[in-house]
């Protein structure tokens, strides 16, 4: 350290004045920052948003708000019911015009008494489209893969599944032939069938009616035919059987005044495609057959006028056990 004296001041220099200055500057800066004497340097700070000094002085004198707690409050306790405010109405004074009806009070009182004696039913009325007894007892089952037995309200119903299905198919095909609008399913490969010249002649005669049922012919030759479409639901393996049955029915039919090619075709196809005796049916198939049968115009007989179902009442069953 070197001391230099002048007339007005005393100047002191240190050997390493830069290091000493850095130490003093750091100590002063730390002290100012620790006690918040110097503001923090912030380049994003807006001086217009700072609280004025006068307000800072007033806020220093402001008292801290007190917190009040209701110690009797229980969040798990049910709220007390709100009391309904009683409402009273003052009766209006009787007007002079009401005196005209004074003589009718006795009659009105009697009418009100008579009306009070009338009791109304409060029981709900339920409407059902079907009889509850039928809904509870209606069931079907197959007997020896030939008959469908169904329970009805009066007793028992036994249906011949083959004849019943004939009736259903007969009316369907007859309707398609009448409106000439049956659906057809296309085959992946053309089906070639061979027949004699006489049989081909029968097919040509019924070709237009067959097309109305869903058959589609691509070529008809002298001894063979080519089919590219069949009615919906008809398996390809059954096509030759259907046509052979049709030819046989036409040849055996006596052409009289009642002969109808359309009716004969519908009967022949229904007979060929109907459910066979001995074929097992699922529960839903049995119920569907029963519903379709009784939706027909003539469910009682098959297309050959044979009985499709019989009924037996509970009384008839009781007589069997006497």
Coil, strand, or helix at residue 210? Answer: helix
Residue 307 β-bridge partners = 301
Please give the pLDDT value at position 63.
67
Cβ atoms 309, 149 nearer than 8 A: no
Per cent of the chain over pLDDT 90 is 25
pTM above 0.75, yes or no: no
Residue 5 backbone phi and psi in degrees, to 5: -100, 130
Please give the pLDDT value at position 144.
93
What is the mean predicted confidence (pLDDT) over 135-162?
Answer: 86
Burial of 238 (0-12, 13-18, 19+ CB in 10 A): middle
Please give the pLDDT value at position 135.
45
Please give the pLDDT value at position 96.
52
CB neighbourhood size of 48 (10 A): 5
pLDDT beyond 60 at 91: no
pLDDT tens, position by position, 99-147:
555 555 555 555 555 544 545 444 444 444 444 544 444 689 999 999 9
Residue 260 backbone phi and psi in degrees, to 5: -140, 120
Complete DSSP assignment for 42-59: -TT--GGGSPPHHHHHHH
266, 287, 244: which is closest to 140 by C-alpha? Answer: 287
What is the domain partition of the chain in residue ranges?
2-31, 137-163+281-315, 166-273
Average pLDDT score, the chain = 77
Strands 140-143 and 155-160: unpaired
Please give the pLDDT value at position 305.
92
Q: Tell me, what DSSP letter sits at residue 90? A: P
Please give the pLDDT value at position 127.
46
Is the domain covering 137-163+281-315 a CATH 3.30.1540.20 domain? Answer: yes
CATH superfamily of 166-273: MutL, C-terminal domain, regulatory subdomain (3.30.1370.100)
CB neighbourhood size of 158 (10 A): 13
pLDDT band at 32 (very low <50, low <70, confident <90, very high): confident
What is the mean predicted confidence (pLDDT) over 253-257?
Answer: 53
pLDDT band at 264 (very low <50, low <70, confident <90, very high): confident
What is the mean predicted confidence (pLDDT) over 202-223?
Answer: 87
Output 182 or 169, whichever has higher pLDDT.
169
pLDDT beyond 60 at 244: yes
Complete DSSP assignment for 213-248: HT-EEEEE-SSEEEEEEEETT--GGGHHHHHHHHHH
Per cent of the chain over pLDDT 70 is 67
262, 234, 258, 304: which is closest to 175 by C-alpha? Answer: 262
Coil, strand, or helix at residue 318? Answer: helix
Output 207 or 159, whichever has higher pLDDT.
159
pLDDT beyond 90 at 310: yes
Output 83 or 189, whichever has higher pLDDT.
189
Please give the pLDDT value at position 221.
85
């Amino acid at each position: 350290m070197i001391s230099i004296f002048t007339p007005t001041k005393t100047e002191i220099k240190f050997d390493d004045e830069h290091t000493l200055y850095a130490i003093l500057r750091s100590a002063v800066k730390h002290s100012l920052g620790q006690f918040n004497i110097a503001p923090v340097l912030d380049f994003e700070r807006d001086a217009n948003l700072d609280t004025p000094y006068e307000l800072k002085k007033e806020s220093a004198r402001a008292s801290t708000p007190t917190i009040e707690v209701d110690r009797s409050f229980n969040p798990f306790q049910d709220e007390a019911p709100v009391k309904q405010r009683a409402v009273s109405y003052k009766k209006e004074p009787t007007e002079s015009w009401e005196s005209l009806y004074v003589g009718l009070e006795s009659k009105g009182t009697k009418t009100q008494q008579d009306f009070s004696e009338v009791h109304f039913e409060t029981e709900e009325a339920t409407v059902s489209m079907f009889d509850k007894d039928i809904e509870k007892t209606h069931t079907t089952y197959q007997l020896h893969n030939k008959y469908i037995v169904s329970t009805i309200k009066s007793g028992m119903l036994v249906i011949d599944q083959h004849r019943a299905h004939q009736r259903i198919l007969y009316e369907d095909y007859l309707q398609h032939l009448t409106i000439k609008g049956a659906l057809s399913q296309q085959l992946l490969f053309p089906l070639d069938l061979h027949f004699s010249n006489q049989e081909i002649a029968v097919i040509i005669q019924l070709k237009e009616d067959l097309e109305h049922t869903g058959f589609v012919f691509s070529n008809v030759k002298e001894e063979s035919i080519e089919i590219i479409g069949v009615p919906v639901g008809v398996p390809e393996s059954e096509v030759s059987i259907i046509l052979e049955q049709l030819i046989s029915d036409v040849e055996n039919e006596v052409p009289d005044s009642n002969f109808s090619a359309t009716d004969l075709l519908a009967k022949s196809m229904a007979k060929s495609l109907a459910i066979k005796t001995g074929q097992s049916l699922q529960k839903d198939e049995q119920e569907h057959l029963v519903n379709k049968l009784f939706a027909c115009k003539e469910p009682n007989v098959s297309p050959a006028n044979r009985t499709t179902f019989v009924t037996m009442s509970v009384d008839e069953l009781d007589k069997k056990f006497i």
